[in-house]
Amino acid sequence: MNAQEAVDFIFRNAPAYAKAKAQRVYIEEFRKSKKALLMKDAMAKYEAANAQEREAYAHPEYQELLKGLQEAIEIEEELKWKLEAARMRVDIWRSEEASARMQIRATE
C-alpha cells in the first residue's frame, strides 16, 4: 500500500469506524437501562437490591446484550487498528521521503 492508498483507505473507512464506535457507545449506555429494567422486573420476586441485580445480570436478555457489545467492540477495534496501520504507512512514507531528500542534498 502506498501513501495515497493509505490516505484513501482512511478516508473510505472513517465513516465505518465512526458508526462502529457510536454503536459500541450506544450499547454500553443501553446496558445500564437494560439492567435497570430487568431489576425493576425482578422487584416482584425480590425485595433486596442485590438479588434484583443478580437476576438482571443473569437474565438471557442481558447476556445477549453483552454479546452484542462484544461484537461492537470487535468491529470498532478492527477498524481502529486498520486505520492506525494506514496512518503508520503515511508516516513511513514521510520518513522515506525525508531521508531521500537528505541523501540528495548530501550528494550535491
Q: Does residue 44 have a pLDDT over 90?
A: no
Q: What is the sign, positive or negative, of the torsion defined by CA atoms of 56, 60, 66, 69?
A: negative
8-21 pLDDT per residue, tens: 999 999 999 999 99
Domain of residue 92 covers 3-107
pTM over 0.75: no
49-90 pLDDT per residue, tens: 999 999 999 999 999 999 999 999 999 999 999 999 999 999
Q: Does residue 1 have a pLDDT over 80?
A: no
Q: How many domains does the structure of the chain reveal?
A: 1
